[in-house]
Amino acid sequence: MLNVRAPHTYLVRASGDSMTGVGIYDGDLLVVDRALPAYSGAVVIAALAGEVFVKRLQQDARGISLHSANPHYPPRQINAEDELQIWGVVRHSIHRHGQHD
């Protein structure tokens, strides 16, 4: 069952192929909860240097990094001078089957 916790839930359309390894494809609709705390391993909507990404958040002894779920894209290590904002945790993805508009 899809639990929508308004007003903390919003929808965003995925773009690109960097998260195909976790089943998120270009054009998928993502259900994002901005009230949930971001945790290591969560798929998040992140804003960094004026760009918005869907990535897996990793936090460990080396710091914070954003990871794609496609081996063609390297991880992005977050530096102290980077302004990282987490806009929410991806809870669900809705995949369109058939022809795309």
Which residues are annotated as catalytic?
A: 18, 55
CB atoms within 10 A of CB 87: 15
Helix (H, G, I), strand (E, B) or coil at 25: coil
Rounded to 5 degrees, what are φ and ψ at 42? -75, 145
Q: Which is nearest to 35 in space by CA: 73, 66, 4? A: 4
Is residue 90 within 8 Å of residue 44, measured between CB atoms? yes
